[in-house]
């Protein structure tokens, strides 16, 4: 037997999950994620290292083939966070952990947990390898450079 409280929680979660698709988002960090700290997000931001163009090209292909573009855009909110400026907000280490272990990150990492609370959608584990994560990060750095993101 399902309790009424459980039904209410399910209804609220479904309502939140359906909100916001396709809307522009000026700031993709909520107040809860802005104040959160992570052991993976200490140190220089990813954009501070030079872009490896060859890896960025590979990363662009992966962004499409791994279906990242289904949930993420640049300058727009789709289902997940807007990625414009992500390399200015996060370290390469944090982004790699998020790409490779999103399920673990939402359980253990305060920033990732805050993003899940904001977007109400768990990022799937797409079995991203170390090399693929590095290529994707280079692509994100290149996009931020092209867009003049900060």
Residue 75 forms part of a structural domain: yes
Instruction: Write out the residue range of the structural domain in which residue 110 sits.
Output: 21-147
Domain-located, residue 118: yes
From 89, 107, 101, select the one nearest 34 (Cα to Cα): 89
**Residue 11 included in any domain:** no
The pLDDT tens digits along the chain (150 residues) read 444 443 333 333 333 333 333 333 333 443 344 457 899 999 999 999 999 999 999 999 999 999 999 999 999 999 999 999 999 999 999 999 999 999 999 999 999 999 999 999 999 999 999 999 999 999 999 999 999 987
Residue 76 located in a structural domain: yes
Quick check: is 56 in a domain?
yes
Q: Is 1 within a domain? A: no
Q: Please check whether residue 141 lies inside any domain of the structure.
A: yes
Q: Is 68 among the domain residues?
A: yes
Q: How many domains does the chain have?
A: 1
Give the domain CATH number at 82: 1.10.760.10
């Amino acid at each position: 037997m399902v309790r009424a409280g459980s039904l209410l929680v399910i209804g609220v979660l479904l309502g939140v999950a359906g909100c916001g698709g396709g809307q522009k988002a000026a700031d993709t960090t909520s107040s809860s994620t802005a104040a959160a700290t992570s052991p993976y997000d200490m140190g220089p931001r990813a954009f501070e290292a030079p872009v490896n163009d060859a890896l960025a090209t590979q990363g662009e292909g992966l962004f499409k083939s791994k279906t990242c573009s289904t949930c993420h855009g640049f300058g727009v909110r789709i289902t997940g966070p807007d990625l414009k400026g992500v390399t200015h907000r996060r370290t390469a280490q944090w982004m790699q952990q998020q790409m490779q272990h999103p399920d673990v990150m939402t359980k253990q990492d305060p920033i990732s947990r805050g993003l899940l609370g904001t977007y109400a959608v768990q990022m799937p584990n797409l079995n991203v390898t170390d090399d693929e994560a590095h290529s994707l990060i280079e692509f994100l750095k290149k996009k931020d450079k092209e867009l003049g993101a900060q």
